[in-house]
Amino acid sequence: MRNCLATKLLSIAMMLLTPAAMLMAETGNTVLYASGNVTLNGKEVSRSASVATGDRIETAGYAATTMSQTGSKVTVNPYSAVKVETAGVNVVKGTAAISTNDGMPAQAAQITVTPKDKTATYEIARLNDNVVITSHTGALMITEAGATTELNAGGSSSRPADPTPAAVPAPAPQAAPQFAGSGLTTKQAWGIAAVVGGAAAACGFLCGMAAASLPPHFSNSTSATHQGRSISRVAQIARVVAAPAVAGVANSVAASSNASAVKSAQHRNIRAGR
């Protein structure tokens, strides 16, 4: 009777263990066991799945466990994520607990943790830009920036995690300054002003010469009329040429006045405690 019961129990145990053993034998990789909301490379895992190098395991409110052929076990805590490396795991966020008999290492940010002897149980967490290493059994060797220190069994160590460098955007090319409301640059506006001024001076000089060359019988009123017409033509040309620059200057002054008014209002609001 006892032999029959023992045979039944052994059969049940073999039925439970055989699928996982066959899966590990077929794939030669680590096996992931999950219950609840656990994803492997973004896809939800129902019960178990084969894990290969480069895979990402992420948990929500549940934990997941990986088992390797060598007997090492990694438990990924809730709300954590790890990436499977060729040797060991890389903790992307949260906490992972490692139990190993073959010296399985783990990494977080720029820090690598390796058991001093092959057998150890420890945790490595990446939380709030810090890496926290805790040894439960067995001493650990912690490597950072080419330097290695030892953490005794039962000890804990917290170190800052190097942030991922962000790409610095290239500065945008600065356009040449323009007068608001016109397509003229400052250099072009000054050029137009110089041309208008030169034309006015030249016209005045020529008009003076023309008045001086009039015959004596022409009256002063005739000379004045001739000069007035010439000056009127110069004024018309100046208005046409300088109109964009004048409009631009006026708009620029108005925009500057509006900006100053806005800043003044902001300062008054700040002083009033708004």
Q: Kindly state the average pLDDT of the residues 215-237.
A: 53
What's residue 18's pLDDT? Answer: 41
What's residue 10's pLDDT? Answer: 45
Average pLDDT taken over every residue of the chain? 74
Q: In the chain, what is the straight-line distance between the N-terminal and C-terminal CA atoms, in Å? A: 87
What's residue 128's pLDDT? Answer: 86
Candidates 36, 38, 31; CA nearest to 59 is 38
Q: Please say if the pLDDT value at position 6 is more than 60.
A: no
Stated pTM of the model: 0.52
The pLDDT tens digits of the residues spanning 136-159 come to: 999 999 999 999 999 999 999 999
What's residue 203's pLDDT? Answer: 54
- Taken in order 120, 123, 124, 129, the sign of the CA dihedral is negative
- Taken in order 204, 205, 210, 214, the sign of the CA dihedral is positive
Strand partners, 108: 111
Q: How far apart are CA 165 and CA 242, in angstroms?
A: 52
When pLDDT is cut at 50, 70 and 90, the band that residue 73 belongs to is: very high
What's residue 84's pLDDT? Answer: 95
Helices and strands of the chain, counted as H and E runs: 3, 16
Q: Kindly state the average pLDDT of the residues 249-270.
A: 58
The pLDDT tens digits of the residues spanning 170-223 come to: 566 665 555 445 555 666 656 665 665 665 555 555 555 555 555 555 445 444
Residues in the chain: 274
Rg (CA), the chain: 42
